[in-house]
Amino acid sequence: MTNDTHNTEVSWSIHVDGASNKEGSGAGILLKEGDKVVAEQSLQFCFNASNNQAEYEALLAGLKLALQLHIPRITAYCDSSLVVHQIKGKFQDTILSITQVPDWRTPFLDYINTGTMPNDEPNLPLFRRRASFYTVLGNTLYRRGHSQPLLKCISKEEAEEVMAETHEGVCGNHIGGRALAAKILRTGYYWPTIKRDCITKVKSCDNCQRYGIPREIISDNGRQFTDHKLATFLTNFNIKHHFSSVQHPQTNGQVESANRIILHGLKKKLDEAKGERAGLIPEILWSYNTSIQSATGETPFKLVYGAEALIPVEVSVPMLRTELYNQPNNQQARTAELDLVEEDRDVFAIKQRARKRYLERRHNKRVVHRSFNNGDLVLRRTEDARKPPAHGKLAANWEGPFRVLQNLGKGAYKLETLRGEQLPGTWNISSLRKYQS
């Protein structure tokens, strides 16, 4: 297949053809020196291609073959009108992209910079009112907000990146849609459909919609959890069932609330990380420390260090906070914040105590204080799991009487039957009432 360098009058030609169907795509090449066939080549593409794409690939493969043989001039033949006319430069097809979405910031930028009103705007006074909430710094559009002085307006593509990082990234904890939108606003980003997009993001998240079968379940000593049907169900799925202790402080209060949030984030992360539970704990804790707590209205990170953390998404999609960073000014402001951090902590502690008292008062309004002594006869509430199905709505709501065997404190009691047989588990006073003989 070497070229005869002495014969300069030889005419070379190449015939190419491409085809595509549901089973794949490929191309055929025929190289000729005058009327003599020099080479035949067939190709099968390992990627999806349309008919026109296959024709282009066939032409490219033929030209590469001609270059390898150092052919100075060659005539190509192809049966695709689109390929032939575009290579010859006779016409260019009009391409309409159905995936390109207009940038929502453009009308506001044009109006603020040049005063140009959008042609397709049906309500011009409404547009002017909306535009009054925006301002331009440099070439960047910002919106005046309430959670932040200025919210950086980002495009649809940047919004997808911000939602993904905030919801399921290194600092993400798969929070709900409204909480996700609030966290993004707190970070300092904005786009018009932020709340709707965040709710859609949560609904489309596989880890938020699918938790799988748990390995173990921890519950209290309620009768609805000690039912035989529930025990059989858990056994069939190899789920271990553990009961909490009555006087175990970790099963109630603030520690339980914090652990519940951490475990909630771990369960959603474990689907992707398989058994790497220990390696995910720093990510979950970082997410927890950078999320606003309802009791204080601030993040735990700020309460400890006196300033908000700079999360990775603020670096990949630069914020005003990062773009205008100045080391001397930042050091001076940081020193002032550290001087005031103890005062801020005192204010947040007051807010936390006020919220706890409010919740305590609201709870105590519905609580009727009662207590029983050892030996008192009581009735026990009949849970739905123990009601005979045949009785229907006429089934008794209380059963007994039973005798109080031991007062464990904090509303927990041990019971026994009138024959002296101790009942398993402990019973809360909310499920007991005094027996009137």
Beta-ladder partners of 398: 381
Share of the chain above pLDDT 70, in %: 83
pLDDT at position 403 is 92
pLDDT at position 416 is 92
For 419, other C-beta atoms within 10 Å of its C-beta total 6
Domains and CATH numbers, the chain: 12-88 (3.30.420.10), 133-210+245-325 (1.10.340.70), 377-434 (2.30.30)
Q: What is the mean pLDDT of the chain?
A: 79
pLDDT at position 304 is 77
Residue 252 clears pLDDT 50, i.e. is over it: no
Which of 221-230, 269-278, 413-422 is predicted most confidently?
Answer: 413-422
Rounded mean pLDDT, 196-213? 73
pLDDT at position 94 is 56
> What is the DSSP secondary-structure string of 159-209?
HHHHHHHHHHSTT-----HHHHHHHHHHHTEE-TTHHHHHHHHHHH-HHHH
- Better pLDDT: 405 or 292: 405
pLDDT digits (tens, 9 = 90+) for 56-114: 888 888 888 888 888 888 898 888 887 888 888 776 565 555 555 688 999 999 999 98
Rounded Cα distance, 107 and 109, in Å:
6
Share of the chain above pLDDT 90, in %: 7
pLDDT digits (tens, 9 = 90+) for 22-64: 778 888 888 888 888 888 888 888 877 788 888 888 888 888 8
The secondary element (H helix, E strand) that includes residue 257 is helix 253-273
pLDDT at position 246 is 47
Rounded mean pLDDT, 231-246? 76
Residue 271 clears pLDDT 70, i.e. is over it: no
Rounded mean pLDDT, 9-33? 83
Verdict on whether the full-model pTM lies above 0.75: no
Using only the alpha carbons of the chain, give its radius of gyration: 36
Rounded Cα distance, 228 and 251, in Å:
24
| Degrees, nearest 5: CA angle 374-378-384 | 135
Residue 336 clears pLDDT 70, i.e. is over it: no
Residue 6 clears pLDDT 70, i.e. is over it: no
DSSP state of 360: H
3-state secondary structure of 255: helix
pLDDT digits (tens, 9 = 90+) for 306-323: 777 877 777 778 777 777
Q: Token digits for 31? A: 């190289």
pLDDT at position 56 is 86
Rounded mean pLDDT, 141-158? 85
